[in-house]
């Protein structure tokens, strides 16, 4: 009973401290220590019994060793999509197609296409946020719902759906002995349910807020849609398709390594198609590497 209480308390404390802004490299080991103490696991090795220090660090280093290349390539792919303007081009094409009359739907779909294509959530939010501000302003919708629209399209039905190249869909594979397309029939139903119900709920909340007199409020710090030269939207969609196609064709034969090959293909195709729009390759590469190190470090700590 004490071990179960310790586990629940450790998870709860981790959530609370993270939401309060504490660094995961500090909070995760502390919460893990709480779980260890309540489960009778010694802090340091005193016998052949598992100890906290070696157990925690073995798990940390093991995760980094197994997933570093995937985090690195995924981060590089996202940063190249950002620096070349390919992510902006894809999002802007979807937004222009739907128009301001479907402001919320346009934001959700733009995020969904990019996320399901393997672009990291941070890059998707960075690319879609200026367009979301512009659309919400044009439709005079309360700006406080912009994060909800971004989240609905990027961290719900696309990130966990079967076939998604996002890391959340690939990490369980070796532990559950499945594939990234496991349960795809159920996944389609769940994804549609999440997307439709999430959109309906979001629109209900927005319409309710508008009926109560809420409207868009301008801020001096609001970003504007970039007027720089962007590649053709197809030059952003093709690399997304390359990632999805290679992961589909190779996941049976290469298993986890299929994602490495798929992301490599995405990076190469993205560079070849959009190298003219990549003005600072060194900056894009450095930002990608730093982003990968931070992401995998935080994930391994937890």
Instruction: Dump pLDDT digits (tens) for 192-201.
Output: 999 999 999 9
Spatial contact of 230 and 236, defined as CB atoms under 8 Å apart: no
User: For residue 226, what pLDDT is reported?
Assistant: 62
So where are the chain's domains? 69-301
User: For residue 192, what pLDDT is reported?
Assistant: 93
In angstroms, rounded to a whole number, what is the distance separating the alpha carbons of residues 252 and 140? 49
In angstroms, rounded to a whole number, what is the distance separating the alpha carbons of residues 121 and 142? 23
Q: Could you tell me the pLDDT band of residue 47, with boundaries at 50, 70 and 90?
A: low
Instruction: Find the mean pLDDT for residues 212-231.
Output: 78
User: For residue 42, what pLDDT is reported?
Assistant: 79
Maximum average pLDDT range among 33-47, 89-103, 129-143, 146-160: 146-160
Q: Which helix (H) or strand (E) holds 60?
A: helix 52-83
User: For residue 202, what pLDDT is reported?
Assistant: 94
In angstroms, rounded to a whole number, what is the distance separating the alpha carbons of residues 236 and 85? 8
Distance of CA 199 to the CA centre of its chain: 19
User: Mean pLDDT of all residues in the chain?
Assistant: 85
In angstroms, rounded to a whole number, what is the distance separating the alpha carbons of residues 129 and 133? 6
pLDDT at 126 over 80: no
Instruction: Find the mean pLDDT for residues 250-261.
Output: 81
Instruction: Find the mean pLDDT for residues 91-98.
Output: 80
In angstroms, rounded to a whole number, what is the distance separating the alpha carbons of residues 296 and 302? 10
Beta-carbon count within 10 A of 291 CB: 20
Q: Which DSSP string do the residues of 139-165 spell out, in sequence order?
A: HT--GGGHHHHHHHHHTTTTTSSTT--
Q: Could you tell me the pLDDT band of residue 100, with boundaries at 50, 70 and 90?
A: low
Contact partners, residue 169, CB within 8 Å, separation at least 6: 159, 160, 161, 162, 163, 180
136-162 pLDDT, tens digit each:
888 889 989 999 999 999 888 888 788
């Amino acid at each position: 009973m004490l071990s179960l209480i310790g586990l629940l308390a450790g998870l709860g404390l981790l959530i609370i401290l993270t939401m309060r802004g504490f660094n995961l490299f500090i909070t995760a080991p502390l919460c893990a220590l709480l779980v260890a103490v309540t489960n009778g696991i010694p802090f340091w090795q005193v016998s052949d019994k598992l100890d906290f220090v070696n157990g925690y660090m073995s798990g940390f280093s093991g995760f980094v060793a197994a997933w570093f290349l995937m985090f690195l390539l995924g981060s590089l792919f996202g940063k190249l999509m950002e620096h070349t303007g390919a992510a902006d081009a894809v999002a802007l094409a979807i937004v222009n197609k739907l128009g301001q009359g479907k402001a919320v739907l346009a934001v959700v779909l733009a995020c969904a296409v990019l996320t399901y294509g393997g672009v990291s959530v941070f890059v998707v939010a960075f690319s879609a946020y200026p367009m979301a501000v512009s659309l919400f302003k044009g439709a005079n919708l309360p700006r406080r719902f912009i994060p909800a629209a971004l989240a609905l399209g990027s961290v719900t039905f696309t990130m966990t759906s079967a076939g998604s190249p996002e890391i959340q869909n690939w990490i369980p594979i070796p532990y559950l002995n499945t594939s990234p397309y496991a349960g795809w029939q159920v996944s389609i139903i769940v994804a549609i349910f999440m997307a439709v119900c999430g959109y309906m709920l979001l629109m209900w909340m927005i319409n309710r807020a508008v009926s109560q007199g809420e409207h868009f409020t301008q801020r001096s710090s609001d970003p504007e849609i970039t007027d720089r030269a962007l590649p053709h939207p197809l030059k952003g969609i093709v690399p997304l398709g390359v990632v999805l196609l290679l992961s589909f064709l190779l996941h049976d034969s290469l298993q986890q390594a299929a994602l490495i090959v798929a992301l490599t293909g995405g990076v190469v195709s993205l560079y070849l198609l959009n190298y003219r729009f990549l003005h600072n390759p060194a900056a894009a590469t450095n930002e990608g590497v730093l982003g990968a190190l931070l992401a995998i470090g935080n994930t391994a700590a937890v």
